[in-house]
Chain A
Amino acid sequence: MLKVLKSGFYLTIQDLGRFGFRDVGVPISGAMDIASVKKANMLLENDDNDAVLEITMTGPTLQFDVPTFICLSGAHILATLNNQPIENFQVIKIEKGDILSYGRLESGFRGYLAIKGGFQNDKVLGSRSQFVPVTKSARLKDGDEVKYKESKSFKPIITEVKIEDHFEKDTLVVFKGPEFELLTDAQLTEIFTKTYSLSKENNRMAYQIAELIKGHEHSMLTSGTLPGTVQLTPAGRMIILMKDGQTTGGYPRILQLSEDSINVLAQKRSGESFQFKLS
């Protein structure tokens, strides 16, 4: 078991997502920055889909009760194992009783903790990702325990790599959304020439953009939405749906983020700025 001594700001278990239940309104969930998860799982020679912990902004304090191997990725949050500093993209051997704790957030917003074999909480509807009401709890709290498999004899092919962060970018690549044609020339100019920033209203469901653009009076029938769909409200607010985002919506879907750009956006915090670039 991994014991959560302190959970930090928002600690969840995530894999790549829950597929096949979109038709009954279940969002895909899964890690916000899948690129980081895949890299950490790769170093541990795990499956891409093995469950990890997603650490948001401030890190937890965690204790391991059997030997294993871990790898950190994503945001740079100063981490220590038994008070010794450790880095992202190192395969680290864990002994019984070891304590992993985190300090200051240096860059990015979401860190990942991958473990040999993946975390073993129960799958619900094919995924271990936490999302209420599919799973009972939305996140891990102080005192919670998460199952993992003991691993002593793992000999990693690669023990450490220097990988340039994929999220140190300020351009989000977008495709035309289904209602792109509704945008006026004035709105298009605004969208693709100005710089935007992330508002305080941001969570695993949706990220709102702080700056308003010119609004619209278009009303439409509810239709499908995806992670990365940029909706435009009548008041001119752009709302980007993320991994726990609703499966349908009634606002015009003006843009669709590329999947790489979802990973980039997932690492932004409120106030950080970016521009849109049409693919």
Chain B
Amino acid sequence: MKKYPINIKPFGERAVLIEWPNKVSESILANILDFMDVFKELKIEGWEMSVAYNSLTMVYNQDHIDFEETKSMILDCYGKIDSSEIQRTQHLWTIPVCYDLEFGIDIEDAAKTLKLSVEELIEQHTSHEYVVFGIGFLPGFMYLGGLPSSLEIPRRAEPRLKVTKGSVGLAGKQTGIYPQDSPGGWNIIGNCPVQLFNPKEKTPCFVKVGDKIRFESISKAEYDLHKIEGEVGIYKPEKVVLNA
């Protein structure tokens, strides 16, 4: 396992930020997740950890912290990664998307800009696996890496005041799903009927950082079916276990 230089910074009275080298890389992400696994073994209640690309924010929700003490605890854990035998289970999720024009309100314009046919755009969007590099911004919003450069397209000049829940968008090097209605400037190419954030579940977001997802093109009829299955709570997203 590759090791990286890490930089630990104070972040207010009860948090620290750990930074890995400034790039988007699966190897760095694996190193962050390894560190988290080792840290969780300490079983100290109250530490919340959230990953975003090359950084980990650690918040102690019980009290203020002593930075130097926390830093040495972190370095100690980081040093133990190599000897750790923790096996992590990661999944590849298949996320259904309906690319019909009814949902993909920008798909024709986007295809034109990208010099592709709509079918080619869908083919390319569905033929890659995307790595979940973080969950944040909105509850259940996944930061996905791995978009092919042929699908890189600028944000819309004017953001929309309301993008519908489930909308699948393209913007720059990113693709993603809006987990709820929100304002947004991404180019909308389809809609996903699966609820990515469900506060009624003990695990409100079934996808975890480090998992991968692939999109699957579905018809309007399948979309409606999944939507109903989701509402009555019987929809189970398709997953495959990846070797950690």
Query: Which positions in A face B, CB cutoff 8 Å?
Result: 19-26, 28, 124-125, 132-135, 175-178, 220-226, 228-229, 246-249, 253, 256-259
Contacts A24-B135, A248-B52 given; does A177 touch B11 at CB 8 Å: yes
Task: Pick the residue among A134, A223, A256 that contacts B139 (CB under 8 A).
Answer: A134
A-contacting residues, B162-205, CB 8 Å: 179-180, 197, 199, 204-205
Contact B24 A133 (CB under 8 A): no
Closest 9 CB pairs of A and B: A224-B57, A248-B136, A24-B205, A256-B12, A221-B53, A247-B136, A223-B55, A19-B61, A25-B136
B8: min CB distance to chain A, Å? 11
B74: min CB distance to chain A, Å? 15
Tell me the complex Cα distance, A224–B52, Å: 7
Tell me the complex Cα distance, A273–B238, Å: 54
Tell me the complex Cα distance, A220–B53, Å: 11
* Contact partners of A225 in chain B: CB under 8 A: 57
Tell me the complex Cα distance, A133–B181, Å: 10
Residue B143 at the A interface, CB < 8 A? yes
Give chain B's interface residue range (CB within 8 Å of chain A): 35 or more
SS class, residues of chain B in contact with chain A: loop
Query: Which positions in B face A, CB cutoff 8 Å?
Result: 9-15, 17, 19, 22, 24, 46, 48-57, 59, 61, 134-141, 143, 179-180, 197, 199, 204-205, 209
A157: min CB distance to chain B, Å? 26
* Contact partners of A24 in chain B: CB under 8 A: 135, 139-140, 197, 204-205
Contact A224 B55 (CB under 8 A): yes
Contacts A20-B61, A224-B136 given; does A125 touch B204 at CB 8 Å: yes
Contact B57 A25 (CB under 8 A): no
Contacts A19-B61, A23-B49 given; does A222 touch B134 at CB 8 Å: yes
* Contact partners of A224 in chain B: CB under 8 A: 11, 15, 17, 50, 52, 55-57, 136
Tell me the complex Cα distance, A28–B50, Å: 13
Q: Which of B49, B54, B139, B180 has the most CB of A within 10 A?
A: B139
Task: Pick the residue among A135, A178, A249, A258 that contacts B11 (CB under 8 A).
Answer: A178
Tell me the complex Cα distance, A253–B48, Å: 19
Tell me the complex Cα distance, A222–B135, Å: 10
